[in-house]
Chains A and B, each alone.
Chain A
Amino acid sequence: MDKPQPWRRVLFLALFVSFFFYSANIYTSGTALNGETAASKNVLHGQKLFRENNCWACHQIYGLGGYMGPDLTNVVANPELGPEYARMFIEEGTDRMPNFGFNEQEVDDLIAYLKHIGEGGNYNPKKGEITWYGTVKYER
Chain B
Amino acid sequence: MEQSNMNVNNRSGVCFVILGLMSLGGCVLMGVLGAFKYLYPDTLSGFEFYQLRPIHVSLAVAWIFLAAIGGIYHYLPKYRGLSLAWPKSIPLHFWVFVITGIAILTAYILGKFGGREYWAYPPALSTPIFATWIMFGINILLTMKKEKGPWPVYYWMWMTGIIFFLITFTEAHLYLIPFFNENIIRETTIQWKSYGALVGSWNMLVYGTAMFVMEYISGDKKMAHSNEAFLLYILSFVALMVGWSHHVYAVPSASWIRMLGYAVSMAELIILADIIWKWRQSLTPDQKFTHRQSYRFIFAADIWVFLNLILAILISIPAFNLFSHGTHITVAHAMGTTIGINTMILMGSVFLIVEELKGAEFSGWSKKWASTGYWLSNISLVLFLGALMVAGSMEAFKEWDDFYERSEAIVPMLLIFSVSGIGLLGGLWMVVVAALNMLKPAKHQNETVTVTAE
Contact = CB atoms under 8 A, between A and B. Distances in A.
Interface string B252-265: 11101111001000
Contacts of B136: none
A1 B51 CA distance: 51
A26 B190 contact: yes
Contact of B54 (A36, A57, A96, A117): A57
Given A62-B188, A63-B326, A98-B48, A138 B116 contact: no
Contacts of B247: 64
Contact of A120 (B41, B120, B184): B184
Interface string B404-415: 000000000000
Contacts of A96: 41
Interface in B133-187: 149-150, 156, 160, 167, 171, 180-186
Interface string A93-105: 0011010000000
Interface in B366-387: none
B50 A54 contact: yes
B113 interface: yes
Interface stretch (B235-243, B276-284, B299-307): B235-243
A115 B72 CA distance: 48
A58 B53 CA distance: 9
B54 A54 contact: yes
A62 B221 contact: no
B322 A136 contact: yes
A116 B184 contact: yes
B249 A8 contact: no
A78 to B, nearest CB: 12
Interface string A37-65: 01100001001000111111110111111
B251 A121 contact: yes
B237 A30 contact: no
Interface string A70-110: 11000000000000000000000001101000000000000
Give the interface size bracket for A toward B: 35 or more
B256 A30 contact: yes
The size class of the interface chain B forms with chain A is 35 or more
A56 B185 contact: no
Contacts of A36: 183-185
A84 to B, nearest CB: 17
Contacts, number: 165
B436 interface: no
Contacts of B433: none
B250 interface: yes
A8 B230 contact: yes
Interface string B268-309: 000000000000000000000000000000000000000000
A35 to B, nearest CB: 10
A115 B184 CA distance: 12
B5 to A, nearest CB: 28
Interface string B318-357: 1101110111100100000000000000000000000000
B354 to A, nearest CB: 29
B193 interface: yes
B38 interface: yes
A110 B222 CA distance: 58
Contacts of B115: 51
B234 interface: yes
B325 A63 contact: yes
Contact of A2 (B150, B186, B331): B150
A44 B181 contact: yes
A88 B75 CA distance: 57
A68 B150 contact: no
B441 interface: no
Interface of A: 1-5, 8, 11-12, 15, 18-19, 22-23, 26-27, 29-34, 36, 38-39, 44, 47, 51-58, 60-71, 95-96, 98, 116-117, 120-121, 123, 125, 128, 130-131, 134-136, 138, 140
Q: Which 4 A-B pairs have the closest CB atoms?
A: A63-B326, A31-B186, A57-B50, A70-B403
10 contacts: A1-B225, A23-B171, A30-B256, A31-B253, A33-B185, A54-B54, A54-B111, A57-B49, A67-B327, A134-B319
